[in-house]
Structure 1
Amino acid sequence: MPLYHERLNGPAKPEEISALEAELGVTLPEDLKRLYLENNGERDDDFNGGSMMGLTFLSLEKIAWHRKQYILPSLESPDFRNTTDWLRSVPKGAVQDLYFHRNWIPLFTDGQGDYLGLDFAPGPNGEEGQFINFGSREEEHCLIADGMTSFLQLVNEKLEKHARDVVIIEDKGQKLVFGIDGEGHLTDDLRRWTRERYGVPEPR
């Protein structure tokens, strides 16, 4: 949609990527670097929903900001309980049963403390760099894809297959996309697709 293309920032500089890697303490995958060398996230302004089907595509600066503002303070707070008995991973053991980890890198956000991003601290059955959902309200963590490229391919495939079922909301004369199949927002779709792929029933 032209509206979303217009919201994307210009390219990041290689030195900005290197600075973020140093701050995160990880080496970012090459496909992610190429993506940011094309578009450094999207504009940071008052907008109802982001360019990734309602989720905001974080700039390098905003990745660091969300980590400092929300993720690390939660992990360091004595009042924050980072695990519960009802957290689960799909498939089992792929993602650690935590709300946050300092080596989970946020790339997209709903603006309410939940994210899609890369996992550099996987569970015993996962792989470093896998694409997952996580956050303060995410109690079912899914191995959505093996990385950023696979995630984008998955979304494109589903859009092509379910083009007629895309959830479009009109707001102030603008048409905004918020998911597929009418089941909810994109993260809800991703959880459902992951359960189906691994034959896991919905949680009760």
Structure 2
Amino acid sequence: MSVSQSWQQLKEVFFRLNPEAPRLFRAGATRGERSRLQQFFPELPESIYQLLGTNNGEERRSYGEMMFGFRLLDIDGMLHIQEAWNQIADEQDGDENNEIEGVVFPEDAGKADYFSRQYLVFADNGAGDSLVMDLAPGAKGTPGQVTHVGKYVIDRYVIADGLESFFDLLASLHLDPRLKMNWAEGRISEATWDGDRNTMVTGLFTLLPLLYEEGRLYQAK
């Protein structure tokens, strides 16, 4: 199954289970628009081009419910974050300002344990937390694997070995009977995991340790 097929399958599962959810996906980007990413990443996995060719991100008014609080960025959003992150990394003395042109960063955004020039940010939650494709992982990693970075992240996990398996994982979570989502006026009014409302307060990040305990993830080094 291709990445575009996995993405479409995830959307089908999500909207079948949550028909009240708004559909806020942008149209696919052209090949020329997608090539703009090459200014930072000359060689990218074909998977990201497939994804953006299907949907060039979500509207800014989306709350990212399908990815448990993370909104798929469009190309402009990806480039904007990458430019700002690189600016921080270039400043030898660091930058005390935690907000640059509307992008929120963790206090340690320029440190190696948070930021890598080989991270492509493809989704964020608007609060300084991001989902990234790691294009140059360690010896035991897979180029293009999905991991996460964030202001309060202590334990980092490799969520999936690529976008395809990441979307498959999300679809399986939506199909898991432990997940309950209640909607009101086009927004989730309450979400619980295994009966625990607190687990879903921060969405995907809170679920990761539970998935790790189940052996579905491994810890990033």
What is the CA RMSD across the aligned residues, in angstroms? 2.8
Say if 2:27 is the partner of 1:27.
Answer: no
Provide structure 1 residue ranges, at least 5 long, that are not aligned to the other structure. Answer: 84-96
Quickly say closer, same or farther: Cα 1:35–1:5, change in 2 above 3 A.
farther
Which of 5, 27, 30 is the aligned partner of 1:13? Answer: 30
Tell me by how many angstroms 1:180 deviates.
Answer: 4.4
Is it true that 1:101 corresponds to 2:113 in the alignment? no
Q: Which residue of 2 aligns with 1:76?
A: 90
Contact 1:10 1:39 in 2 (8 A): yes
The whole-number CA distance in structure 1 between the counterparts of 2:217 and 2:29 is 39
Q: Take 1:186 and 1:114, find their aligned partners in 2: how far apart are those partners?
A: 11
Q: Is the 8 A contact 2:158 2:218 kept in 1?
A: no
Q: Percent identity?
A: 24
> Unpaired runs of 5+ in structure 2?
1-14, 96-107
1:4, CA displacement in angstroms?
5.0
Scaled by the length of structure 2, the TM-score of the pair is 0.70
State the TM-score, normalized to the length of structure 1.
0.75
AA partner of residue 35 (structure 1): L
1:139 aligns with 2:132: no
Equivalent residue for 1:129?
144
SS in 2 for 1:140: coil
Residue 155 and residue 50 in structure 1: after superposition, are their counterparts in 2 closer, same or farther (change >3 A)? closer
Alpha-carbon distance between aligned partners in 1 of 2:28 and 2:59, rounded to the nearest angstrom: 12
User: What is the DSSP-based 3-state SS (H/G/I as helix, E as strand, rest coil) of the residue aligned with 2:57?
Assistant: coil
Q: How far 1:101 moved relative to its partner?
A: 0.8
**Displacement after TM superposition at 1:167 (Å):** 4.1
